[in-house]
Amino acid sequence: MSTVLVASRNAKKLEEMRRILAEHLESVEVVGLDDVEPFDEPVEDQPTFEGNALLKARAGVAATGLPTIADDSGLCVEALNGMPGVLSARWSGPPKSDERNNELLLAQLSDVPDERRRAHFRCAVALVHPDGREIVVEGRMDGRVIREVRGSGGFGYDVLFVADEFPDLTTAELSRDAKDAISHRGKALREIAPLVAQMLA
């Protein structure tokens, strides 16, 4: 059985990634950062999602020798010129806090009318192999930011984001399967999973 490292400690994100990858990778064991020897993780200082995903995947390969998948994703709000973007997880400053990030986003959009609250989630997923091969794919989910926190599923900005496909529910109110089917990460992972299988064959 082949082993692939997913360079993340976020339990909910890891579960989501394992679930989607498992649909395509039957004989692959997916491990997270807490399953391998600790190593110095890089500072995510790249200006693009693709750059940060590659940075994390390359660090994982260098430290463990395992093929590594890493993602970087975020919320891009039109009224905020595409921010928080690559700064999504750290939008309200250290330490990282979904609650504070959501409060800050609501405050920044407080006087923005509903018709100008368009936004999309973007995700870049990078796969780096120890032999030097690299693949990056992207996924996107379009929708809007609402005015109050709703739902208990998902993580990050899910409690404030309503996707175009489900206009009455936040992505934190969707079932796992419904969210996986439309999410930016789901789209990117489904695209990269067969490529992972091919690379490991």
72 is catalytic: yes
Local structure of residue 46 (DSSP, 8 states): -
In sequence order, which residues have a C-beta less than 8 Å from that of residue 160 and are 6 or more positions away?
102, 105, 106, 145, 146, 148, 149, 150, 170
In sequence order, which residues have a C-beta less than 8 Å from that of residue 43 and are 6 or more positions away?
none
Catalytic residue among 40, 72, 111, 180: 72
SS3 201: coil
| Residues annotated in a binding site for Mg(2+) | 72
| Residues annotated in a binding site for substrate | 8-13, 73, 155-158, 179, 184-185
Residue type, 10: N
28-32 and 2-6 as β-strands: parallel, antiparallel, unpaired? Answer: parallel
| Residues annotated in a binding site | 8-13, 72-73, 155-158, 179, 184-185
HSE of 51, CA atoms in CB hemisphere, 13 A: 9
C-alpha–C-alpha distance, residues 72 and 50, integer Å: 7
Share of the chain residues as helix, strand and coil, in percent rounded to the nearest 5? 40, 25, 35
| Active centre residues (catalytic) | 72
